[in-house]
Amino acid sequence: MNPKSKHYSTIAFGLAAVGVVLFSAKAIMVKMAYGYDIDTLSLLLIRMGIALPFYIIIALFESRRKTNMKLMPKDYLFLTILGFLGYYMASYLDFKGLNYITASIERLILFVYPTLVIIISAIFLKKPVSLQQKLAVGVTYIGVFVAFYKYSAYAAISSNIPLGTVLVFGSALTYAVYLVGSGDMIPRIGSVRFTSYAMIVSCIAVMLHYFIKNDGNVLDQQTEVYFLGLGMAFISTIIPSFMLAEAIKRIGASNVAIVGSIGPISTIILATIFLGEKIGIYQIIGTVIVISGVLLIALSKKKVKIS
């Protein structure tokens, strides 16, 4: 099959969309877990601790493939940096920020990462921004603006919203750097192999952070917390991480970032169902506009440059 075929691209956009929705569910489960009075680092450790064995098994399986290219020391260094930024630092800042803002506001702030990906790629990698990308970003931002019009007025849960905003924006920035870096490495070493190695690094980083600094007790939590941790590990970590990595391999980091516009809307819907957050006519209209923006990219996939 021609890797630039219509079918190849369609699958990639589908993987990206589903992966984004599954990642969005993480914020809902984090907010639910905080209701059981667990600290940020302990919750993150439960999530990563459950996921780690599976990434190790997958990494070992992938390392035995004779077709895999041999990694150089600089590759391992780059993998370590990206794993640290993309799934440890970004996750920690995100989890921390959710102490101060709602899941819906969190996802809106995280939504700046598509813009950050495109800006970083243009500045440091000299990658041109296509007309389709510019138009899709514009349409999806309009949709997000409409979806959150008159929404933040009753969405706040904390007087320390600025701190939560800064923390989540930091998460968006570190994740954008991860996406840009992974867009170069994944085609060379494979999406499954790359994701496994990067996630192992992030899991180890979380564990080191916990044992060095944490004051909580990860083994003394209510049963519901562990079930939520299990959900975060599988539904919102393992499965979507491989989906997005494969999508990046097929259509590039910038296009996957644009598909990420689904994230804020899916979070609003999930937050309404599971957290009781309100949704109104503006959110419904915004949802339609955002989906239109994503479809604009999907329907123009023949013109999208495949990385």
How confident is the model over 242-255, as pLDDT tens digits?
Answer: 888 788 878 876 67
Is 302 strand, coil or helix?
A: helix
Is residue 87 included in any domain, yes or no?
yes
Is residue 1 included in any domain, yes or no?
no
Domain count, the chain: 1
Cβ-based neighbours of 129, under 8 Å, separated by 6 or more: 118, 122, 254
| pLDDT > 70: percent of the chain | 85
**What domain range is 124 assigned to?**
6-303
In whole angstroms, what is the distance from residue 19 CA to residue 243 CA? 6
Is residue 236 included in any domain, yes or no?
yes
How confident is the model over 47-89, as pLDDT tens digits?
Answer: 999 999 999 998 888 877 756 778 888 889 999 999 999 889 9
Predicted model pTM: 0.80
Helix axes 161-189, 191-213, angle to 10 degrees: 140
Radius of gyration of the chain (CA): 19
